[in-house]
Structure 1
Amino acid sequence: MYRDTSLGAAARADPRPGSAVGHGVGLAGLAGVVLWIAVARARGLDGPYAALVALAACGVPMVLWSLLADKVHHAPSTGIDWTAARPWREMRAISLTKIVGLWTTWGGIALIYATGRFYWQGNFAFAMWCLGYGAPLLFLASIPYVFWIDRRLIDPRDGAWHLGAWLSGQAGAAPEAIFAHLRSWAVKGFFLAFMLAIVPAGFGALIRWDGSLRDPVAVASGLITLMFVIDVAFASVGYLLTFRPLDSHIRSASPYAAGWAAALICYPPFILMEAGGPLNYHPGTADWVHWFSGHPLLLLVTGAVLVVLTAIYAWATVAFGMRFSNLTNRGILTHGPYAWSRHPAYLSKNLFWWVSTIPILSTGTLVDAVRATLILGAVSGVYWWRAKTEERHLSLDPDYLAYSTWMERNAPVPRFFAWLRS
């Protein structure tokens, strides 16, 4: 996951990580969501509506910072020329064709939601409620938005237009542009539903946390929940705010089946790590609290390590600002934890699982311990696979090649692994 900011030609000329570009927008979103969490805790607002407000508290400051401070709408990568708006009449046919493509795409996503029983059970029912109320507004708002933006786009014939042209029998529809469009919306449709489904539970648990500082386990649990709430807020906003004027649009979605397979098996309904799944490593194991019970110092140290790992994981998401998204390139990210590692989120997440589970210790037999260790190793292997498929996709971008080369020579984590291999 390296997609992000508006480095443009500067990244190609000087791809040094740690650029100041993009830091402010993440900090603005972080300040907004933390402020709302404080207000919600003070007032006891732990319901799903308060959780949705947390997304707004995260997203609105980032939009304002991007437009007013970073002025991302003027970046060449937006594909917008604000100085040369075409006449309405000249763009009417193109815009109508694009609306046909967009509405058809959204109708297809809605059909998948409607026919998939999975999407109407458990936490996903809340996501469907959100999308059900939001869909009519999206359809209506798309009309003025498309007519407005098309007048200013350098090339208004994007993937949605190509799909609309193909559906309406017009000449010039390119299959690859259509496939790229559908892949981008497949990413949004799949992951946005998942993110909205998990927003309320984590937010409610955080608001109800008693905040006691006397129990190191409770403190660690509360801080870990806080990190995950921040992560989910930023990720959800990232899937919602894919707009060219914000320079947060999807440049490309992975064209490789291996990349999709590696990602999808980590999320429901395809997840392989849940109870009953072939990569569920939990049977015969217990968590760190069980193994270190009665040893306050070990509990304190282990809890602190897990909090730090979760903080790195959340930091990796915050660094994206409003450009977080799986399976996509939304610009190459070089600052924050991505100046240390090309995969800080995957690395910290897997270390968290190993430290929190300690699979070699078993509540059952030695066979259970070996099995759990091997399966957790396989889970880490899945994330290694995900990392490699992402690198393959992003290597289609010259900016990423420059970044990757710099990281191999200079970044601490790649150099450490190179030292181990040697």
Structure 2
Amino acid sequence: MYHDPEFVRAARTDSRPRSAVSHGVGLAGLAGVAVWIAVARVWGLDGRYAALVDVAACGVPMILWSLAVDKVHRSASTGIDWAAVRPWRETRGISLTKLAGLWATWGAIALIYATGRFYWQGNFAFAMWCLGWAAPALFVVSVPYVLWFDRRLIEPRDGAWHLGLWLTGQPGSEAAAIHAHLRAWGVKAFFLAFMLAIVPAGFGSLIRWEGSWRDPVALAGGLTTLMFVVDVAFATVGYCLTFRPLDAHIRSATPFAAGWAAALICYPPFILMEAGGPLDYHPGTADWTHWFGGHPLLLAATGAMLVGLTAVYAWATVAFGMRFSNLTNRGILTHGPYAWSRHPAYLAKNLFWWVSTIPILTTGSVVDAARATLILAAVSGVYWWRAKTEERHLSLDPGYIVYSEWMDRNAPVPRFFAWLRS
């Protein structure tokens, strides 16, 4: 695993370790999203194609910034040596074997999509439509891309190559490399379909929003929707652009079953928090607008708090630039909200749920209030579990250990919780 020596220097000086992503790439993506949202609102472009353009408006500026300004393609962590190009005859066999492994992986993913009825219902049908159109182009482009790219890789024998070796009956395949390859593509396949499924609804709601800026409830709703649209755009880009030339490839996907379990129960079709699910804390509750109705100051203050928490949540995704994805290490982040907390998104999300729901207040009985409070506490416990499993995975990277130790000494949130424990 690539280790940035800057982390070692930071450990010695106690300065904050350098982040794997610059501030500029996130700002470039934000600018693209802002411009397209403005255009879409003026022209009333609220359909699913306009939502896909929003994702492109986020991703393209980040690609341009990363290559032209940050020059990420020259980073040692890409594993690319642009100056040393091998002859075709040296890498042709490697590339063909790799393509066999890659196509087999894509075929297995397509089979899972085709078999699962869930993926052809509701919002997920749109995700399948997107992937169905993209698949032939990816299949064709993969041939020249792999043949060209392997000549420049320092070590082209990756997990796809090992899988290709095994499938074609050649000796030398390594099970660990194959498993790592399948885990990485498993993450991408599962979460990319989910992200594409939720892109149109949020974007359309934002473009159609016509609330009054003087109404604190409507304003909070509109701004919250805006933050989620930004979050979804960046996250979708992150799952799409897992490319080494962008230094956005997956270094590793968690090898721990607990990490997979903790994450998957938070997303469909395995989600436990949906309506009627075992961790549905909503029965017997009402949201903040019900309890604070008729009290403008309380409505304004609570709305502002919820918008602020959603902004932190979106900021945590923007900080990744093109590298956002669950269950993976794609470079250690130390800037933005990650200089305050190791898990700012989880913290903000859970505080949002507690403030917006106020489970101790009930429209039913005291028993309903107790149940809602205990179940929401269990939901927060799930996210604590997710955080711990992520830390266990990321701690396999020496850079994360340095970052984590720096956070213990300097970051406000870890120091606050350490003070509570003491």
TM exceeding 0.5: yes
Aligned counterpart, 1:12: 8
Residue 17 of structure 1 and its aligned partner are, at CA, apart by 3.6
Quick one: which amino acid aligns to residue 187 of structure 2?
V
Please list, as runs of the form range in 1=range in 2, the aligned pairs for 1:106-145 lying within 5 A after superposition. Answer: 106-145=106-145
Would you identify which runs of 4 or more consecutive aligned residues in structure 1 move more than 6 Å? none
CA offsets 1:107-127 (integer angstroms, 9 cap, x no match): 000000000000000000000
Alignment correspondent of 1:373: 373
Per-residue CA shift, 1:365-395, capped at 9, x if unaligned?
0000000000000000000000000000000
Whether the aligned pair in 2 keeps the contact of 1:18 and 1:339 (CA below 8 Å) is: no
Q: Which residues of 2 match residues 1-400 of structure 1 at below 5 A?
A: 8-14=4-10, 16-17=15-16, 19=18, 22-400=22-400
Offset of residue 19 of structure 1:
4.5
The code of the aligned residue for 1:77 comes to: S
Mapped to 1, the partners of 2:110 and 2:182 lie a distance apart of 14
- Could you tell me the percent identity over the aligned residues? 79
Note the alpha carbon deviations across 1:321-360, whole angstroms, 9 max, x for none: 0000000000100000000000000000000000000000
Letter in 1 for 2:361: L
Distance in 2 between residues matched to 1:174 and 1:58, nearest whole Å: 38
CA deviation after TM superposition for structure 1 residue 320, in Å? 0.2
Counterpart-to-counterpart distance in 1, 2:62 and 2:17: 19
- Tell me whether 397-406 or 14-23 shows the greater mean CA deviation: 14-23
Secondary structure of the residue aligned to 1:81 is coil
Partner SS, residue 81 of structure 2: coil
Which residue identity does 1:113 align to in structure 2?
Y
CA deviation after TM superposition for structure 1 residue 280, in Å: 0.3
> 2:6, 2:18 within 8 Å by CA — same for their partners in 1?
no
Q: Secondary structure at the match of 1:341?
A: coil
TM-score calculated relative to the size of structure 1: 0.97
Structure 2: which 5+ residue stretches go unaligned?
A: none
Matching residue of 1:3 = none
CA contact (8 A) 1:18 1:336 kept: no
**Equivalent position amino acid for 1:320 in 2:** F
- Once the two structures are TM-superposed, the CA of residue 11 in structure 1 deviates from its matched residue by 2.1
Structure 1: segments with no counterpart, 5+ residues: 1-5
Count of residue pairs brought into register by the alignment: 417
Cα 1:260–1:360 change in 2 (3 A) is same
Matched to 1:188, the amino acid is K
TM-score, normalised via structure 2 length: 0.97
Answer yes or no: is 1:407 the counterpart of 2:407.
Answer: yes
* C-alpha contact (below 8 Å) 1:63/1:246 kept by paired residues: yes
Report if the CA contact (8 A) 1:12-1:398 is conserved: no
Name which structure has the greater RCO, CA cutoff 8 Å, separation 6+.
Answer: 1
Note the C-alpha offset of 1:7: 8.5
SS in 2 for 1:69: helix
